[in-house]
Chain A
Amino acid sequence: MVDMVITESQATQGVTEAFNAASVELLTKGEPAWLREGREQAWSVYEQTPMPNTRLEEWRYTDLTRLLQLASLRLPEVEVGPGSASTWPDRLRETTEQNREAAGHIVLIDGHVVHADIDPVLAEQGVILDSLHDALTLHPELVKEHLGSAVSADDGKLEALNMAMWADGIFVYVPSAVRLDLPIRVTRWISQAGAAYFSRVLIVAEAQSQVSYVDEVVSDDFDTQTLKSSAVELVAGAGAVLQYVTVQRAGSGVFVHSAQRTLAERDARIDTLNVGLGGSVHRVDLNAKLLGPGANSEMLGLYFGDGNQHFDFNTSQDHTEPNTGSDLLYKGALDGASRAVFRGIIRVLPGAQRTDAYQTNRNLLLSSGARADSLPNLEIEADDVKCSHGATVGELDTEAKFYLMSRGLDKVQAERLVVLGFLGEVLSRLPLGGVIEKVTGAIEEKLSQHG
């Protein structure tokens, strides 16, 4: 690495020994000119964008200056991970073994693809499932057309850093009218404490196609902060159906940031589910754009916090055309001294008549140290709309608990059932094979530590 002196003003803008113009330059080696320019431009946006602070409405409850130690992060060591599953860490292997039913798999260790497969029948039909790097070589035009079209450097400081520094990612392409019956499953393992992982997901579903995708991250606990930054771009052509699920089961010490945007054309449907269980800090910025009449989006979220975990979900639903719909449901349970923030906004722009948009956030506080902040916002500039939002924060339903206890369950079992019932509503709305079992299992594990 090039030795460099970082001035104080650069440091306050997030220029560090790991993140600087020279490290961006290294990444661009061998990349096409358009991508190199994209990275350089993103880097300059990063340098010029102030670090978000709590005076910004969108960062009001998540103090980055306190929670993110940018200066101590380094880039991961480049090692080619073991290709044979027998040498994988146990937790990774266990996780992938539960994912047999799939249209295709990708397994990444420390950001590098160590395994990829796809149903040959689908490959024959033109379905692409590749690492982003391979896709750049194999399908340069497709990647060029869509990469950065949904999440760009202009979206914010962290988005710009990701755009400048991404090391690898996933590219999924489904041609017109091709429909996948089983989900694509991606499993990630991260192992280097103190490293910063930048990756991107780009899924393009052409007109009338159908695809579902489940992305899961697991890791051990870390005693130094480790960053997992991702940018997720979901593009659905006319009449396409795209389902995206991400399950975050990282160890403690991980700071997770995920910037996601969905672009749904006429009559398309894009559903998302964000599950937050692990990590120390988990922030999601999700924007759904309903771009054509008939476009629809279901936006689901589920989180279970304990210890000092901090969750922050920042969502927006943009209705720019008539006859579009969106329905958001985020539910979470908070134990220990954990904290959750939900900030959502429905924007109905002038002329977007006959919009149906809903937004609900419900929180269950399980301990006296837990805290929930909820800001469900509406901005409505058309009159023929159906919009509503609701938010609740409350304690465990004691009546339900006592009912169960009177039927012979002990207190712990009864609480477990009530919490699972509360959170289960979210999972039942996007029942992809294996996800419910997996998430329920992880919640049960956390609940068993509930005192």
Chain B
Amino acid sequence: MPENETIQGLDLDEYKYDFVTEVDPVYRAQRGLSEEVVRQISQHKEEPDWMLDFRLKALEVYESKPMPKWGGDLDGLEQVLDEIYFYVRPQDRMQHSWEDVPDEIKDTFEKLGIPEAEREVLAGVGAQYESEMVYHSLREEWEKQGVIFDSIEDGLKNHPELFREHFGTIIPTADNKFSAMNSAVWSGGSFVYIPKGVSLDTPLQAYFRVNQERMGQFERTLIIVDEGAQAHYIEGCTAPVYSTESFHSGVIEIVVKKNARFRYTTIQNWSNNMYNLVTQRAIVEEGANMEWLDGNLGSKLTMKYPSCYLMGEGAHGEILSIAYSGDGQHQDTGGKVVHAAPHTTSSIVSKSISKGHGRSTYRGLLKVHEGAHHARSNVECDALLINETSRTDTYPYIEIEENDANVGHEASVSRIGEEQLFYLTSRGIPEDEAMAMIVRGFIEPIAKELPLEYAVELNRLIELEMEGSVG
């Protein structure tokens, strides 16, 4: 059977977000990163002195740290960073009413499929365009209960004490080179607070869009889920395809307090010219539950390892990761769980698909500190390879300092089995459909956790690309 001819058809590469909107920004800093740019950002945001100091110190830390030598190929990055704009301000001030958002920007989000109807079922919606949030809204019922869902800048302005108590404490500036960079030039992102005992029954959703060429986006998100509260936050990311490289480096800090539950979902679908280097970390307190659902479909190179620090007794952390790498793409993703308290549990499930010259890497850390007795953890990684040129790697780190703990890691690598295909086609199912079924079955455990519209989108892409692929 000419298996490769049909397998070739599996293609998530079709990128429908490749359009540019003509918008004149109200302000654009000069290219590259410098103290002057950092000062300009702080000045535009009318920040308190402590934040400017924080940024300038972070710039020093960034400059003192070498480029990472592990992970993906960052050789060309320094040149890219000299060429990009670190700060582009699309409009004067953020809007809370959709009608007030400039038409061109509104148009962009409509094209991304964020229509009115969908916005209405969400608890809150935020939209970031270039460097700033252009729109943020929260349903009144939640606002009345004390929920805060705002841009990070407004979080600093309107809730200075809560902000300062947590900002930069979960991911310190010096955590890594890119957390230091983000700390120096952060702009945009969400500030979220869910008060004690409040349960949001629908998700909060944030959209991130990079529109112009040679753009650097540095979202900074801080989420505090107070005791016994529950919420779900979803972020989606897209950009047009340019011949030059763009850069996105976010820092996401989350505190999940006692007995609270929180889920953070990412659908990263950046264009294939984007470097995407993100640091995401959650502190999980006693009896609390944190879930990361991390979908990486786009970008040129993603390096992202969402992490859970299980700090209180009985805390639970979960990471579900799905990655797709096509030609020219490298997804270096995974997760990190640190068990620092007794009776903590965690699970990591990672699935990747590599096609053409794509490369998917799982990189993870599982650590059980001494004293975290009765810790339990399980890690499972499965990689699907579509072509003989595809590549997959698995680099799990397991560090155990406690004898009263049980941890396990399993990984497997396979390609679409000819037996599976034969079985399905012998039952009268056309080859392209059979192929799609197998791939869907492979990603199903994670796809079923996705919000419906994303799951539908993922399935649609797989099916679409199977059409007419039988030669």
Contact = CB atoms under 8 A, between A and B. Distances in A.
**Range for the number of chain A residues in contact with chain B:** 35 or more
B12 to A, nearest CB: 17
B47 interface: no
A392 interface: yes
Contact of A395 (B383, B390, B392, B404): B404
Nearest to A371: B401
Contacts of B394: 376-378, 389
A374 interface: yes
B398 A393 contact: yes
B403 A391 contact: no
A70 B365 CA distance: 33
Contact of A350 (B386, B388, B398, B410): B388
Contacts of B411: 376, 378, 388-390
A375 B395 contact: yes
Contacts of A378: 392-394, 411, 413
Contacts of A390: 408-411
Interface in A358-417: 363, 365-368, 370-395
Interface of A: 57, 350-351, 353, 363, 365-368, 370-395
A301 B394 CA distance: 22
Given A383-B390, A386-B414, A373 B395 contact: no
27 contacts: A350-B388, A350-B389, A365-B400, A365-B405, A371-B399, A371-B401, A372-B398, A372-B400, A373-B397, A373-B400, A374-B398, A374-B400, A378-B394, A378-B413, A379-B391, A380-B383, A382-B388, A385-B414, A387-B412, A388-B410, A388-B412, A389-B409, A391-B396, A391-B408, A392-B406, A394-B405, A394-B408
Interface string B412-437: 11110000000000000000000000
Nearest to B401: A371
B370 interface: yes
Contacts of A388: 410-413
Given A380-B383, A386-B414, A393-B400, A374 B409 contact: yes
10 closest A-B pairs by CB: A365-B403, A383-B385, A378-B394, A393-B400, A374-B398, A388-B412, A394-B406, A392-B408, A387-B413, A383-B415
B139 to A, nearest CB: 46
Interface size of B as a range: 35 or more
Given A378-B411, A382-B385, 6 more contacts: A373-B397, A374-B398, A375-B396, A377-B393, A380-B392, A391-B396
B406 A376 contact: no
Nearest to A61: B399
B402 interface: yes
Contact of B407 (A376, A379, A394): A394
B387 interface: yes
A239 B410 CA distance: 32
A176 to B, nearest CB: 36
Contact of B413 (A370, A380, A395): A380
Given A388-B412, A394-B405, A395-B405, A371 B388 contact: no
In terms of DSSP, what is the predominant structure of the interface of chain A?
strand
Given A365-B403, A368-B404, A373 B398 contact: yes
B408 A376 contact: no
A365 B393 CA distance: 28
Interface centre among A350, A370, A378, A395 (most CB of B within 10 A): A378
A351 B396 CA distance: 25
Nearest to A379: B393
A117 B179 CA distance: 65
A373 B383 CA distance: 23
A321 B164 CA distance: 58
Contacts of A371: 399-401
A255 B411 CA distance: 33
Nearest to B413: A387
A222 to B, nearest CB: 29
Nearest to A340: B400
Contacts of B389: 350
A424 B331 CA distance: 40
Given A376-B409, A384-B388, A370 B403 contact: yes
Nearest to A343: B397
A390 B400 CA distance: 15
Contacts of B386: 383
A372 to B, nearest CB: 5
A377 B70 CA distance: 14
A382 B391 CA distance: 7
Given A386-B414, A393-B405, A380 B398 contact: no
B415 A384 contact: yes
A55 to B, nearest CB: 10
Nearest to A334: B403
A35 to B, nearest CB: 37
A37 to B, nearest CB: 35
A353 to B, nearest CB: 7
A367 B390 contact: no
Nearest to A359: B411
Given A383-B386, A383-B388, A375 B403 contact: no
A371 B396 CA distance: 17
